[in-house]
Amino acid sequence: MRNMNCQSIRREIEEAGSAGFLSAAALSHLKACAACQTLFRQQTSLQAILSGLGTVEAPGDFDFRLRARLAGEKRMGARSLPFGNLSFGLRSTAIAAILLLIGSTVLFVALKSRPNISVAGGGNQVPPQSVTPESNRGNPNPINGVIKSGADAVARGSTEQDYLPAGRAPKVPGIRREIAGVRSGNRFGSRDMSQKGAPVDRLAGTYPTAAFPIDASYQSLKVSVDDSRGASRTISLPSVSFGSQRTLSQTASPLLASARDTW
C-alpha cells in the first residue's frame, strides 16, 4: 500500500513541473516518506537548474546571414532545374523519370546503330538486292551475294540445298545460326543462315576422320648474329612442336593417326 502510494506520488512529482505544486495528499505523504522527500527535493533542484540554463542568443548578424543565404538560394534556384520548387519526393520522381528517359533513349540509339540481327521469322529485313536461291546456285560464297531470311526461304518451299554449292554437306548439327552483316551505304543488311549448314573444307577421299594436314616443315630455326666486328655466330634453335605436328611427321600415313591424337 505504501509502495503504491509512493509510485503515485512520484508520478505526481514528475509531472509537477518546475513550480512543484503538489496536492495536499502528496504533501502529507512527503512529510512521512523520506525517500519521496529526497526525490522531490532533487527533482525541484534539477528543474531549477535546467530552467535557469538561460537562452543562448543568435548572433547579431543572424538576419543578415539568413537573407544572404536565401538570396543565394534564389539565385541558384533560378539557374537550377525548373522543378526546383517541388517537394523532395516529386523532385526525386521527376529526376528519376528524366534519367529513365535518357537511359532508354541511349539504349534505343545503341540498338538502332548495331547491325541488325534477323532471326527466323524476321522476314521484314530483306534488303532490295536480295536474290533468289536459284540465282545463287553457282555462287560458292553466298555471304557476299545473298541476303535472305530463312523464314522467307521456308515460305517459298526452298530447302538448304538451294543455298549450298554442289557437293557440300547439307547440314552440320550444332551450328544454329550464322549472321553476316553486309554493309550497304549506311545500313546493315543481315542474313539468316540458321537453316543452312556451315561449309566443311575437306580434301576429297584423303581424310575421312576429323584430321587435317598441317603444312609446316619440320625444320629447326637458325639465327645468325653479327657483332659488326667480323665475328658472327649462328645459333640453331630446335623446332617447336605442339605434339600433333610431331605425331603427323612421324606417322607413316595420316590415316593411321587416330582422331584423338591429331588436331
Determine, following the binding rule CB under 8 A, whether residue 7 of this chain makes contact with other proteins: no
CA-based nearest residue to 194, from 224, 221, 172, 211: 172
For helices 2-15 and 24-32, angle between their N-to-C axes, nearest 10 degrees: 120
Q: How many residues bind other proteins (CB under 8 A)?
A: 29
Task: Please report whether residue 19 would count as binding other proteins according to CB under 8 A.
Answer: no
Pairing of strands 232-237, 221-226: antiparallel
Which CB, 13 or 151, lies closer to other proteins?
Answer: 13
Q: Is the dihedral of CA 152, 155, 158, 161 positive or negative?
A: positive
154-165 CB burial, b ≥16 within 10 A, e <16: eeeebebebbbe
For residue 60, state whether it binds other proteins (rule: CB under 8 A).
no
CA distance 147 to 70: 66
What is the smallest separation between the CB atom of 98 and other proteins, expressed in angstroms? Answer: 22
Residue (8 or 141) nearer to other proteins, CB? 8
Stretch that binds other proteins, among 10-18, 130-138, 148-156, 212-220 (CB under 8 A): 10-18
Q: Does 42 engage in binding with other proteins (CB under 8 A)?
A: yes
CB of 60 to other proteins, least distance (A): 11
Instruction: Rule CB under 8 A: say whether 37 interacts with other proteins.
Output: no
If binding is defined by CB under 8 A, does position 62 make contact with other proteins? yes
Element (H, E) at 162: none
Q: Is 73 in the site for other proteins (CB under 8 A)?
A: yes
Cβ atoms 245, 262 nearer than 8 A: no
234 binds other proteins (CB under 8 A): no
Q: Is 96 in the site for other proteins (CB under 8 A)?
A: no
- 237 φ, ψ (degrees, to nearest 5): -100, 135
Q: Which residues bind other proteins (CB under 8 A)?
A: 14-15, 18, 41-43, 45-47, 49-59, 62-63, 65-66, 69-70, 73, 85, 87
